[in-house]
Amino acid sequence: MAGVCSDEELVTVRPDDELERAVELMREHAVRRVPVVDDGRPVGIVSLGDLALERDPESALGDVSVARPDP
């Protein structure tokens, strides 16, 4: 059975990092979510949808990101 995580180091950002840092890491590592870590503790997640909403709320990805899930 394959493992959930790879052997690579976990890619994270800090709460005070600029959004551009998250974008850079997502591109570099081809990931859609980056954990936000403060003093070694997870405090959140930045997703591709979050970035779409911040940069262009009218985009298709922004629309999908704010849509309510189907019941």
13 belongs to a structural domain: no
The pTM (predicted TM-score) of the whole model is 0.71
DSSP H helices, the chain, are 19-29, 48-55, 60-66
- Domain carrying residue 28: 19-66
* Pick from 33, 53, 32, 40: nearest CA to 14: 40
| Cα atoms in the 13 Å half-sphere on the side-chain side of 43 | 10
Q: pLDDT truncated to tens, each residue of the chain (71 aa)?
A: 444 555 567 899 999 999 899 989 999 999 999 999 999 999 999 998 888 877 776 766 666 665 666 66
Number of domains in the chain: 1
30 belongs to a structural domain: yes
55 belongs to a structural domain: yes
Give the separation between CA 39 and CA 51, rounded to whole angstroms. Answer: 23
